[in-house]
Amino acid sequence: MTGRLPALLASLGRRLPSDRLVDLQRHLHQAENPDSPLLDRWSASHPAAGLAVQLTTLRTAWRDEAPQLSGEALALALATAAEAEKEMAPPAELVVSGPTSPAIPVRLTSGIAVDVIRSARASLLIASFAAYGIPEIVTELRAAAERNVRIDLLLERTTASARAFGPLGEHVRIWHRAASDDRTSLHAKVIAADRHTALLGSANLTGRGLSRNVEIGVILRDSGAVGRLVDHMRWLTGPDGLLHRA
């Protein structure tokens, strides 16, 4: 295969969780060509941000670059790309706040949070239960906005965490659960850069959480896992999710 098709197959293989990937391969096996309605039905039954566009782009490249290939051939290529990605996925890296020990090499949460924000080129998705006392993070977010990074902040309404980001004004989009929803709280702590890197852990976006409290986290650089995490968080801000624009 030449052109865009190999890269598009690899990208799709990285994005899809194993069950969806197997289901797509099954539909491809039965598809005679890129215009098969089987692929339309698969796309309609798997709503996720940007997934339909990604599949449409793949089908267009298939039609333009390799119409002689069967759906079965693409299914095999997709499976091969996914297996190769599994073998290449980097391990999770431990992150801590508070005191470190000689037990295992770790990095401090405050430094990692800045690194992840700086690595974003298109989007940042950040979730935190509490947020205050983080001027360095606010400065980094301002710099990200200045390089045209889209920034979405998913914040717990009851902790007034949005106040920490007030200086950023319209450079960020803030999301809360509805005021009438007292059944849940937004307790996740995530910083995700594009679809390639994510910091997950127990630390809130507070000065103490990022530096002094005893907190544990991991940094993921597996684009497949990070992409699925981002898709889930984006779903929370979608029509069927529980978060609404503040």
Helix then strand then coil, in percent of the chain rounded to 5, is 50, 20, 30
Q: Which two tokens stand for residue 61?
A: 């490249």
CATH code for the domain in which residue 221 is found: 3.30.870.10
Query: 3-class SS at 14?
Result: helix
**CA pair distance 105, 93, nearest whole angstrom:** 9
The verdict on 211 and 168 lying in the same domain is yes
Task: Go through 197-215 and write b for each residue having 16 or more CB atoms within 10 A of its CB, e for each that does not.
Answer: bbbbbebbbbbebbbebeb
Question: What does the mean pLDDT of the chain come to?
Answer: 89
Q: Whole domain around residue 134: which residue ranges?
A: 93-245
Neighbouring-strand partners of residue 96: 108, 216
Predicted confidence at residue 10, as pLDDT, reads 83
In total, how many domains does the chain have? 2
The verdict on 117 and 189 lying in the same domain is yes
For the stretch 96-152, pLDDT in tens is 998 887 776 677 899 999 999 999 999 999 999 999 999 999 999 999 999 999 999
For the stretch 215-237, pLDDT in tens is 999 999 888 889 999 999 999 99
The verdict on 146 and 184 lying in the same domain is yes
The verdict on 120 and 39 lying in the same domain is no
* Helices (H), ranges, 66-108: 71-88
